[in-house]
Amino acid sequence: MDVFDRLKAATADDWQSYVDHDFVRQMGAGTLPQAAFRTYLVQDYLFLIQFARAYALATYKSRTLADMKAAQAGVAAILDEMDLHVRLCGRWGLSPQDIEAAPEHQATIAYTRFVLDCGAAGDLLDLHVALAPCVIGYAEIGRHLVPEGVDALGDHPYREWIAEYAGDAYQAVAAKARRHLDDLAARAMTERRFNELAALFGKASRLEADFWQMGFDGGR
């Protein structure tokens, strides 16, 4: 069991509230209201801007060149993901100007600032534990939503989003993040500290669930 699986096991209820949220279930079933998805898309774009800052902070917090390169790759992956969001938003009738003019929702602020605070107040391991539910969790959600493969989605209304996170490229990003988390833990984690990290992970998972709920509420 790697560190990520240990963290999930230690915070099982928080984790399930995130990965098994009604937003995820309805998106997988194709029944999620379009307004909810549009609300989510806009806020997720704003969310990713702050996560890019978190990876920039990871560069500053890094003590090795390898860690710096991992942070640089994280920033690049997020910027690529933002390009996806711009394309998706366009297909859902939202222009780049609409996205950038939108105010951050309270749920967006709460989650992103929590992650940034973990990084500012703690070390690189604290920051990556706070990032893990998003970075690695989206890969697990994407994979779970396509048990028979992306081609089986057909003309599913949320096919592009699901395919992005279930696809090989993002799965590779998540796998690399898991290995990096293990490496950081091998260098900096004690068993006593694990409980503190699990608390961070559980809080981040609950904030992810709140983020889904924000999109869900926006579609009502």
Q: Which amino acid is at 215?
A: G
How many whole angstroms separate alpha carbon 110 and alpha carbon 86? 23
**pLDDT value of residue 150:** 80
What is the spatial distance between Cα 197 and Cα 35, in angstroms, rounded to a whole number? 35
Tokens, residue 160? 């592009």
What's residue 97's pLDDT? 83
Q: What is the total count of domains within the chain?
A: 1
Residue type, 191: E
Alpha carbons 80 and 205: distance in angstroms, whole number:
23
Tokens at 70, concatenated: 């991992």
Q: How many angstroms separate the CA atoms of 51 and 99, rounded?
A: 16
Range 21-48 average pLDDT = 93
Query: Could you list the residue range(s) of the whole structural domain that residue 97 is in?
Result: 3-218
Quick one: 50 exposed, middle or buried, by C-beta within 10 A (0-12, 13-18, 19+)? middle
Q: What is the DSSP string of 86-110?
A: HHHHHHTT--HHHHHHSPPPHHHHH
Q: Which of 134, 160, 164, 191 is catalytic?
A: 134
Please list the alpha-helical segments (H only) found in 34-190: 34-61, 65-91, 96-101, 106-121, 124-135, 137-144, 159-166, 168-188
Report the percent of the chain where pLDDT is more than 70: 99
Tens of pLDDT, residues 172-205: 999 999 999 999 999 999 888 999 999 999 999 9
124-135 vs 34-61: helix axis angle to the nearest 10? 160
Whole-model pTM? 0.92
- Alpha-carbon distance of 108 to 48, in angstroms, equals 10
* CATH code for the domain of 214: 1.20.910.10
DSSP state of 11: T
pLDDT digits (tens, 9 = 90+) for 66-83: 999 999 988 888 888 788
Distance CA(75)–CA(46), nearest Å, equals: 15
> What pLDDT score was predicted for residue 219?
59
Distance CA 120, CA 47 (A): 18
85 pLDDT higher than 90? no
Q: Is 134 annotated in the active site?
A: yes
Mean pLDDT of the chain: 92
- Of 81, 140, 164, 208, which residue is the catalytic one? 208
